[in-house]
């Protein structure tokens, strides 16, 4: 038993000696708890990297927001083409008014910590002050939070993590604190949604930018309003985007873009090492299918290192970094080909991450994520008895991108992850679509998925036999990782035309995509399925489906849909 003062009731009294020497009889309330460690994690005992009571822990205390519901309402308003506020995106300062904690919250929590000799500091990387950071020895953290911090290792990656199975806060803090991390979250490193395949020759089997231009009607002429229309490409898990490989790729497939390159931003200790043997298949794919598809749009590779501050692999840190950048110099589109299984994230962090994407939407930044490659089994194929939604596709404020197989894209790929979130309810923009699909399959898979969850993906694009250059050689990859930068590039090119016409960029896409004009810009994908968990998975069908979403985009139709 690892826990000291935590039992099966949520509220308990747990007398403890405070460091200031007073007798502390706070009523402690368990905020988060897990029953066991997930099987991929092993406990580290003494002598094998186990924890010492003096080990310094950096903990982040997430404070209650002033008005997150208000931000949600505004985000939907500025993203809904029928609303009078459409396109009136918020400044980071305006977003901060919703996100920052009320003054009372800041003062109550600060007083609690300072009364125990702890000095909290705001999170330096964030433009908001909704997170306080403290650094304390493990023994003091155990007392403060009624916790039992231990060391664990994620065996596959060798990553050491200090966690507790449970923690508590004084009852008076419950309305002021959302969560404390890292505590009970055993989050594995994010999975990338790309795998290598060997197949060549002919447009039907070898997908390159030229094929994509034909199939999706993507223009090849260069964007003209480039300086403020930046396409951001997220990089995680030490995946580096190689410049020499990009040059070779452009020489092979887009000689007209010869000389195009990308800029780099790093956070959390990230780098973009140019040693050719460190070129990452995922990072190269993402850079080659943005620079090589969004002709002339400036592309920024955002490399997130391991020194993350958010307890979720940097997925929130990257949002804070982007929102701290000046408008005009930060991405208007963010493409991410990495993700998690929703069940591996505690609800607290999944909600915080989704709120971060809501902030991007409020600011007019479109966030696209690969839906994952495990069919109904999640981000990667897994053994499962219940369908595994991927994350953050289940967050209603991201655009989740699934995969299609052939050119032309009439079939869903067998791996395209899709389904329904267990954490986020169906948002109104897709309520009719989700009801229609769920009704259409009747009792099939009853109990295996959540009929009232947010359905994903939203859209899909080519994701099979995609030609890239890796370490100097042409090779082929599969995965919703391919579809995501392709779709992000198309949106970046639409934004370029919108800017040229003096209109605002698209921002949070989904209310537009699911509107009558938006959906008309997509070619419905009506065959194929996404097997997993020993089932055939869901089937693509006429209308929205949890395999290919609304279908694949057509550039000219999108231009019509935005009124150009
Ligand atoms: C950029 O300008 C050139 C010349 O005016 C034009 O031919 C081209 O179509 C423009 N590109 C876009 C993306 O509007
Ligand atoms: C692209 O530019 C490089 C030098 O920047 C040159 O060596 C190469 O031949 C060019 N390739 C094409 C296809 O124009
Ligand atoms: C960074 O994290 C990745 C994934 O967890 C791991 O494979 C790698 O070894 C870590 N690198 C360092 C320098 O800690
Ligand atoms: C299904 O989704 C709803 C809406 O998000 C949620 O309230 C409910 O807890 C979920 N059910 C399960 C079994 O996860």
Closest by Cα among 422, 436, 359, 413 to 394: 422
User: Band of the pLDDT at 319, cuts 50, 70, 90?
Assistant: very high
Q: Is 247 in the pocket of ligand 3 (CB under 6 A)?
A: no
Using the atom order of ligand 1, give the atom closest to the CA of residue 500: 14
Q: Is 161 in the pocket of ligand 3 (CB under 6 A)?
A: no
**What is the percentage of the chain residues whose pLDDT exceeds 90?**
88
**Residue 51: its pLDDT value, please?**
97
User: Band of the pLDDT at 421, cuts 50, 70, 90?
Assistant: very high
Q: What global pTM score does this model have?
A: 0.93
Ligand 4 centroid distance, CA of 423 (Å): 6
250-to-58, 247, 284, 295 alpha-carbon distances in Å: 44, 5, 12, 11
Q: Minimum mean pLDDT among 8-22, 166-180, 221-235, 550-564: which range?
A: 8-22
Question: Hey, whose CA ends up nearest to atom 11 of ligand 3?
Answer: 306
Cβ atoms 429, 75 nearer than 8 A: no
Q: Is 496 in the pocket of ligand 1 (CB under 6 A)?
A: yes
Question: Hey, whose CA ends up nearest to atom 11 of ligand 2?
Answer: 251
Q: Is 307 in the pocket of ligand 3 (CB under 6 A)?
A: no
Ligand 4 centroid distance, CA of 452 (Å): 7
**Residue 20: its pLDDT value, please?**
40
Average the pLDDT over 408-428 and give the result. Answer: 90
Average the pLDDT over 533-540 and give the result. Answer: 97
Predicted confidence (pLDDT) at residue 134 exceeds the cutoff of 90: yes
Predicted confidence (pLDDT) at residue 7 exceeds the cutoff of 60: no
Burial class (CB in 10 A: 0-12, 13-18, 19+), 503: middle
CATH class of residue range 222-561: alpha beta
Binding-site positions: 524-525, 543, 545
Radius of gyration of the chain, Cα coordinates, nearest whole angstrom:
24
Among 32, 268, 282, 317, the active-site one is: 282
Predicted confidence (pLDDT) at residue 16 exceeds the cutoff of 50: no
User: Band of the pLDDT at 5, cuts 50, 70, 90?
Assistant: very low
Predicted confidence (pLDDT) at residue 35 exceeds the cutoff of 50: yes
Two tokens, residue 555: 């550039």
Q: Minimum mean pLDDT among 142-151, 224-233, 318-327: which range?
A: 224-233
Residues 6+ apart with CB under 8 A from 407: 203, 204, 207, 211, 215, 462
Q: What is the mean pLDDT of the chain?
A: 92
Using the atom order of ligand 2, give the atom closest to the CA of residue 258: 1
Predicted confidence (pLDDT) at residue 206 exceeds the cutoff of 70: yes
**Residue 200: its pLDDT value, please?**
44
Q: b/e string for 435-467 if b means 16 or more Cβ within 10 A?
A: eebbeebeeebeeebbbebbbbbbbbbbbbbbb
User: Band of the pLDDT at 6, cuts 50, 70, 90?
Assistant: very low
Phi, psi of 551, rounded to the nearest 5 degrees: 120, -160
Query: What is the spatial distance between Cα 225 and Cα 289, in angstroms, rounded to a whole number?
Result: 20
Cβ atoms 287, 279 nearer than 8 A: no
Cβ atoms 335, 232 nearer than 8 A: yes
Query: What is the spatial distance between Cα 139 and Cα 149, in angstroms, rounded to a whole number?
Result: 8
**Residue 224: its pLDDT value, please?**
79
Helices and strands (H and E) in the chain: how many: 14, 29
Using the atom order of ligand 3, give the atom closest to the CA of residue 154: 5
540-to-511, 522, 527 alpha-carbon distances in Å: 21, 14, 5
Pocket test for ligand 1, best of 213, 219, 220, 222 (most atoms within 8 A of CB): 222
**Residue 1: its pLDDT value, please?**
28
Question: Hey, whose CA ends up nearest to atom 12 of ligand 1?
Answer: 223
Closest by Cα among 517, 549, 522 to 437: 549
Predicted confidence (pLDDT) at residue 12 exceeds the cutoff of 70: no
Q: Are strands 159-163 and 331-336 parallel, antiparallel or unpaired?
A: unpaired
Chain region(s) in the chain for CATH 3.40.50.200: 222-561
Ligand nearest to the CA of 314: 3
Average the pLDDT over 322-328 and give the result. Answer: 96
Closest by Cα among 489, 518, 401 to 213: 489
Among 26, 130, 245, 286, the active-site one is: 286
Using the atom order of ligand 4, give the atom closest to the CA of residue 425: 5
423-to-345, 348, 395 alpha-carbon distances in Å: 10, 10, 8
Two tokens, residue 533: 């968990």
**Residue 26: its pLDDT value, please?**
75
Q: Is 224 in the pocket of ligand 1 (CB under 6 A)?
A: yes
Binding-site positions for Ca(2+): 524-525, 543, 545
> Per-residue DSSP letters for 116-183?
TT---EE-TT-SS--EEEEEEEHHHHHHHTT---EEEEETTTTEEEEE-SEEEEEGGGTTTEEEEESS
User: Band of the pLDDT at 412, cuts 50, 70, 90?
Assistant: confident
Ligand 3 centroid distance, CA of 214 (Å): 40
Cβ atoms 301, 267 nearer than 8 A: no
Closest by Cα among 449, 426, 463 to 538: 449
Q: b/e string for 299-327 if b means 16 or more Cβ within 10 A?
A: bbbbbbbeebbbbbbbbbbbbbbbbebee
| pLDDT tens digits, 47-95 | 889 999 999 999 999 999 999 999 999 999 999 999 999 999 999 999 9
Question: Hey, whose CA ends up nearest to atom 9 of ligand 4?
Answer: 422
> Per-residue DSSP letters for 305-334?
-S--SSSSTTTTHHHHHHHHSPTTSSEEEE
- Give the residue carrying structure tokens 């009372």: 104
Ligand 3 centroid distance, CA of 159 (Å): 7
**Residue 197: its pLDDT value, please?**
63
Judged by DSSP in three states, 192 sits in: strand
**Residue 446: its pLDDT value, please?**
97
Query: What is the spatial distance between Cα 135 and Cα 156, in angstroms, rounded to a whole number?
Result: 28
User: Band of the pLDDT at 24, cuts 50, 70, 90?
Assistant: low
| pLDDT tens digits, 473-518 | 999 999 999 999 999 999 999 999 999 999 999 999 999 999 999 9
Among 481, 489, 496, 539, the active-site one is: 481
Q: Is 481 tagged catalytic?
A: yes
């Amino acid at each position: 038993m690892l826990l000291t003062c935590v039992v099966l009731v949520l509220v308990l009294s747990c007398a403890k000696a405070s460091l200031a020497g007073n007798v502390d009889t706070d009523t402690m309330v368990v905020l988060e708890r897990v029953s066991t460690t997930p099987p991929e994690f092993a406990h580290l005992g003494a002598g094998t990297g186990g924890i010492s009571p003096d080990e310094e822990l950096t903990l982040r205390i997430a404070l209650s927001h002033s008005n997150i519901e208000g931000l949600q309402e505004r985000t939907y308003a500025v993203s809904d083409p029928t609303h009078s506020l459409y396109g009136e995106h918020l400044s980071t300062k305006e977003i901060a008014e919703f996100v920052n904690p009320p003054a009372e919250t800041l003062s109550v929590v600060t007083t609690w910590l300072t009364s125990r000799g702890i000095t909290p500091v705001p999170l330096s990387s964030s433009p908001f002050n909704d997170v306080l950071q403290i650094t304390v020895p493990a023994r003091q953290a155990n007392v403060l939070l009624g916790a039992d911090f231990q060391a664990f290792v994620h065996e596959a990656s060798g990553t050491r993590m200090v966690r507790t199975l449970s923690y508590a806060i004084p009852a008076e803090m419950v309305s002021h604190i959302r969560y404390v991390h890292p505590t009970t979250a055993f989050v594995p490193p994010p999975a990338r949604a790309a795998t290598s395949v060997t197949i060549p020759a002919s447009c039907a089997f070898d997908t390159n930018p030229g094929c994509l231009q034909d199939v999706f009607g993507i223009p090849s002429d260069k964007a003209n309003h480039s300086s403020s229309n930046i396409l951001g490409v997220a990089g995680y898990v030490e995946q580096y985007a190689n410049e020499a490989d990009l040059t070779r790729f452009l020489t092979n497939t887009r000689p007209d873009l010869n000389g195009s390159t990308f800029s780099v931003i790093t956070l959390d200790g990230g780098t973009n090492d140019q040693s050719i043997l460190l070129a990452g298949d995922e990072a190269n794919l993402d850079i080659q299918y943005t620079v090589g598809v969004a002709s002339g749009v400036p592309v920024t590779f955002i490399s997130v290192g391991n020194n993350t501050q958010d307890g979720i692999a940097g997925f929130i840190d990257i949002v804070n970094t982007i929102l701290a950048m000046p408008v005009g110099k930060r991405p208007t589109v963010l493409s991410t080909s990495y993700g998690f299984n929703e069940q591996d994230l505690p609800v607290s962090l999944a909600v915080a991450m989704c709120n971060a994407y809501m902030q991007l939407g409020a600011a007019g930044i479109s966030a696209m994520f690969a839906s994952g490659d495990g069919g109904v089994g999640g981000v990667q194929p897994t053994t499962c008895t219940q369908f595994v939604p991927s994350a953050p596709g289940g967050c209603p404020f991201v655009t989740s991108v699934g995969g299609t197989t052939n050119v032309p894209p009439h079939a869903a790929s067998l791996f395209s992850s899709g389904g329904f979130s267990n954490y986020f309810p169906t948002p109104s923009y897709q309520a009719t679509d989700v009801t229609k699909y769920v009704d259409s399959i009747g009792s099939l898979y009853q109990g295996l998925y959540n009929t009232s969850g947010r359905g994903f993906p939203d859209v899909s694009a080519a994701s099979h036999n995609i030609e890239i250059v890796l370490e100097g050689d042409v090779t082929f990859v599969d995965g919703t990782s391919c579809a995501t930068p392709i779709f992000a590039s198309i949106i970046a090119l639409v934004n370029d035309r919108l800017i040229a016409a003096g209109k605002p960029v698209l921002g949070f896409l989904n209310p537009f995509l699911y509107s009558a004009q938006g959906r008309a810009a997509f070619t419905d994908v009506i065959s194929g399925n996404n097997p997993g968990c020993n089932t055939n998975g869901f089937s693509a069908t006429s209308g929205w489906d949890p395999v290919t979403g609304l279908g694949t985009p057509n550039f000219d139709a999108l231009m019509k849909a935005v009124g150009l």
